[in-house]
Amino acid sequence: MTEIATPATDSLSRTPWDMKEYQPHHTGTPLIQGEYDASLATLVWANGEQASFPLIWLRDHCACDSCRHPQTFERTFMLLDDAALTVQQLSLESGNLMIEWSDSHLSRFDAGWLQQRRPSDVLPETPVPQSRAWQLSHQTHVTSFGDYMAGGEARLGWLEALCRDGFAVLDDGPSEGGEIDQIAATIGPIRATNFGGRFEVYSKKAPNNAAYTPIALELHTDLPNWHQPPDIQMLYCLANDADGGESIFGDGMAVAEELRQRNPQAFQLLAETPVDFRFADERTDLVVREPVIHLDASGKVIEVRFNNWIRDSLRLPLVKMQAWYAAYRQFWSILREPAFRLHLKLEAGQMVAFDNRRVMHGRQSFDPTTGRRHLQGCYVDYDMVESALRVTARQLD
Amino acid sequence: MTEIATPATDSLSRTPWDMKEYQPHHTGTPLIQGEYDASLATLVWANGEQASFPLIWLRDHCACDSCRHPQTFERTFMLLDDAALTVQQLSLESGNLMIEWSDSHLSRFDAGWLQQRRPSDVLPETPVPQSRAWQLSHQTHVTSFGDYMAGGEARLGWLEALCRDGFAVLDDGPSEGGEIDQIAATIGPIRATNFGGRFEVYSKKAPNNAAYTPIALELHTDLPNWHQPPDIQMLYCLANDADGGESIFGDGMAVAEELRQRNPQAFQLLAETPVDFRFADERTDLVVREPVIHLDASGKVIEVRFNNWIRDSLRLPLVKMQAWYAAYRQFWSILREPAFRLHLKLEAGQMVAFDNRRVMHGRQSFDPTTGRRHLQGCYVDYDMVESALRVTARQLD
């Protein structure tokens, strides 16, 4: 065991070393002591905190230009290649850690960066909020188009609501067409599907999808017949003057939780029984076998697949069939209760964004002879929503 | 119980009723007997087979123009709405089933279609093959560009190999640029990521990714820092004249299975321990916490996430750290064994396609001063590969 102690340095005068991270890290607390043995280095910060790091961890996390690419910041150091994992010298420089390895390679670690990465069971804080079920009484998060596009706190709050509630609204936007592309560009690329990239929702002469007719659309999730249905759907309203055509939304997470309360067996059946969803046309045949309710390992509802149009032939043993139908109908009937349905007649210049993996959407029928109804829609990846949220948050730090 | 029996009809003269399916169904065996009670209809086919269907199932699967949309074929019948689920009359017409419900609604079911949907635990046959691990001794599936583009059996075989092995090659194609778009168009839309849609792989002056440098690339999967990494990657070679630059592939499923054999504890640790993957740049911050090896409920390896460049700071309790590093190094060292590495110097006009969720790719370094190396790449969704496979198969039926 070799021990090195240096006097505490003034934290304010300490220059953080570049660890090739975009995420800012604490710089307030310098190291005041460091020691090591054959496998661990043990460090003490000026505020009294102490932690041990495996030497292999420290070597693996060296941020010098030959271990992390100076432009991409990616790790170019290959742990498996012949690298010294024994320390020749450990020292503190201006409260930061410097290690010279037995092959003379030099590694520098910023004290604050190390402090944030102490070996621990505790997950680091994340700016992405946890999902939370909601009902009609929920206050929808609304931000103006202009404030959102300007970025900063307004955009951060909107993206947080989208991650937490799976639902958020923009309003007071223009309605010239194409605004949805500008909004998508603040998040990420449009996720294209068998129905294309950006789509136009209005009554079409030769529809290949019920959305392109004027009929009422029962609450549903889109493309549950994909292994990976699109995550976030955005619908931007350019015109909504026809009679009818009110949009309806319902949180599948809330409906599933309500079913769990009222009828645990029915809930379990929908969560455990994969059923087929299928859409086919001349050029496409997309089919998956998945349950209506998806749970994570802890039993939390993380996804709902509900779409009566493209539910395929139900293939189950006879003994399970009646019980499955009963559970499915009970889920559906909860979904029809007013407490679980949010009605919203979209106005030109308004946009809704919702998490298609949990929030269902639908609409009342409309009469295309009484006026125009035209929405522009697209999907974006949840990954990119989280990314936009993190980048917005770090710019505010 | 009401029973109806009709004489067996000549199966060859029987016209199948339109069930609004693109998938062809058997038409050979007529029904010869049908009976029903308050909840079930029991049918007998001419070949002696017998099955019972819940009445609710039959009502739910009515394929008439008011229950299934005549253009989109989607189910417009809403089970939850007030519909009669009791039979007024059940009859056989030319060996097919006709039911008149108590509200006078009429449903017709083709005998062969019903036969294929008998309530059962047995899954219907699917043309999509199961995945299968492979090593170097594996015979790579190669199809010529021309044969693939012509469709039919050649395309079907290539798509089957891609689903089964997660790896397939096209050769003898042109190298004018953009061929990859033609190939993608036979499958589905390009899946765009934070690196854009179609990407160009050559040595760039300001790379934001190690792929765009001339350095060697250790075997890896792309974008394991996404919740949903892209599925299928295609790399089309336009030029490969520089010294070096050989491509390398390894099946993560095979490597993981080998680790399970040699060191079950290490395998389990990599399958149970989520670690962080992260890529950040000025506009992006994509991070997920996922294990290196993903298993399905039966313990089968279904996904591997391995990418040393964007493995983020390892955040684990100290007691787990050394064991995780040891397991990770053992996985990596198996990956370095020649038996698990397929080398392929791509030629102009050749393309590899591989399942990025399981097959790792890499390359040897190349010397950009000795010649040109230029690949065009893109991702497509596995969902659309399965769809293309099914459509190709049904066209051959």
Whether A317 sits inside 8 A of B75 (CB atoms) is no
Inside any domain, residue A356: yes
> Are B166 and B62 members of one domain?
no
A40 neighbors A27 (Cβ within 8 angstroms):
no
> Are B64 and B170 members of one domain?
no
Range with lowest mean pLDDT among A228-242, A311-325, B74-88, B249-263: B74-88
Indicate the residue among A101, A116, A131 that finishes a domain.
A116
State the amino acid at position A250 in one-letter form. G
Inside any domain, residue A121: no
Query: Mean of the pLDDT values across residues B356-367?
Result: 95
Inside any domain, residue B228: yes
Q: What is the CATH number of the domain that holds A237?
A: 3.60.130.10
* Whether complex ipTM tops 0.90: yes
Secondary structure in 3-state letters for A100-160: EECCCCEEEECHHHHHHCCCCCCCCCCCCCCCCCCCCCCCCCEEEHHHHHHCCHHHHHHHH
Indicate the residue among B66, B99, B116 that finishes a domain.
B116
> Are A211 and A331 members of one domain?
yes
pLDDT at B24: 74
Which residue range(s) make up the domain with A81? 2-116
> Are A67 and A196 members of one domain?
no
Inside any domain, residue B126: no
Q: Which 30-49 residues of chain B touch chain A by CB within 8 A?
A: 39
Q: How many domains does chain B have?
A: 2
> Are A268 and A377 members of one domain?
yes
Top pLDDT among B3 and A231 is at A231
Q: pLDDT tens, B252-302?
A: 999 999 999 999 999 999 999 999 999 999 999 999 999 999 999 899 999
pLDDT at A4 exceeding the cut of 80:
no
Q: Does any CB of chain A come closer than 8 Å to the CB of residue B300?
A: no
Q: Does any CB of chain B come closer than 8 Å to the CB of residue A56?
A: yes
Sheet-wide strand order for A2-5 = A2-5, A31-36, A40-45, A50-54
**Rounded to a whole number, what is the distance in Å from the CA of A378 to chain B's nearest CA?**
13
Residue A85: pLDDT band with limits 50, 70, 90: confident
Q: Which 67-96 residues of chain B touch chain A by CB within 8 A?
A: 69, 71-76, 78-80
Whether B120 sits inside 8 A of A315 (CB atoms) is yes
Sign of CA dihedral B304, B305, B308, B313: negative
Percent of chain A topping pLDDT 70: 96
Question: Is A35 in a helix, a strand, or coil?
Answer: strand
Whether A226 sits inside 8 A of B381 (CB atoms) is yes
Residue of B nearest to A330 (CA): B80
Residues of chain B in contact with residue A119, where contact means CB-CB under 8 angstroms, are 315-318, 321
Sign of CA dihedral B258, B221, B189, A349: positive
Question: Is B153 in a helix, a strand, or coil?
Answer: helix
Of the partner residues A189, A311, A391, the one whose CB lies closest to the CB of residue B192: A189
Residue of B nearest to A289 (CA): B123
> Are B82 and B182 members of one domain?
no
pLDDT at A301 exceeding the cut of 50:
yes
Query: Mean of the pLDDT values across residues B133-145?
Result: 89
Q: What is the mean pLDDT of chain A?
A: 92
Of the partner residues B23, B193, B328, the one whose CB lies closest to the CB of residue A189: B193
Query: Mean of the pLDDT values across residues B174-185?
Result: 97
B198 neighbors B378 (Cβ within 8 angstroms):
yes
> Are A199 and A109 members of one domain?
no
State the amino acid at position A388 in one-letter form. A
Q: pLDDT tens, B54-75?
A: 999 999 999 999 999 998 899 9
Q: Does any CB of chain B come closer than 8 Å to the CB of residue A175?
A: no
Q: pLDDT tens, A117-165?
A: 999 877 777 889 999 999 877 789 999 999 999 999 999 999 999 999 9
> Are A176 and A278 members of one domain?
yes
Distance between CA B172 and CA B144 in Å, rounded? 6
Top pLDDT among B12 and A299 is at A299
> Are B153 and B283 members of one domain?
yes
Q: Does any CB of chain B come closer than 8 Å to the CB of residue A268?
A: no
Beta bridge partners of B294: B303
Q: Does any CB of chain A come closer than 8 Å to the CB of residue B363?
A: no
B256 neighbors B225 (Cβ within 8 angstroms):
no
pLDDT at B111 exceeding the cut of 90:
yes
**Rounded to a whole number, what is the distance in Å from the CA of A87 to chain B's nearest CA?**
17
Q: Does any CB of chain B come closer than 8 Å to the CB of residue A348?
A: no
Question: Is B282 in a helix, a strand, or coil?
Answer: coil
Inside any domain, residue B276: yes
Residue B8: pLDDT band with limits 50, 70, 90: very low
pLDDT at A212: 80
Residues of chain A in contact with residue B298, where contact means CB-CB under 8 angstroms, are none
> Are B89 and B155 members of one domain?
no
Query: Mean of the pLDDT values across residues A310-317?
Result: 95
> Are B252 and B175 members of one domain?
yes
> Are B164 and B245 members of one domain?
yes
Residues of chain A in contact with residue B213, where contact means CB-CB under 8 angstroms, are 69
Interface test with A, best of B37, B61, B72, B296 (most A CBs within 10 A): B72
Residues of chain B in contact with residue A117, where contact means CB-CB under 8 angstroms, are 313, 315
Residues of chain B in contact with residue A308, where contact means CB-CB under 8 angstroms, are 75, 78-79
Inside any domain, residue B136: no
Inside any domain, residue B54: yes
Sequence-separated contacts (24+) of A263-266 with Cβ below 8 Å: A263/A327, A263/A330, A265/A327, A266/A323, A266/A326, A266/A327, A266/A330, A266/A331
Indicate the residue among A98, A116, A134 that finishes a domain.
A116
Q: What is the CATH number of the domain that holds A58?
A: 3.30.2020.30
Inside any domain, residue B137: no
Percent of chain B topping pLDDT 90: 80
Beta bridge partners of A360: A250
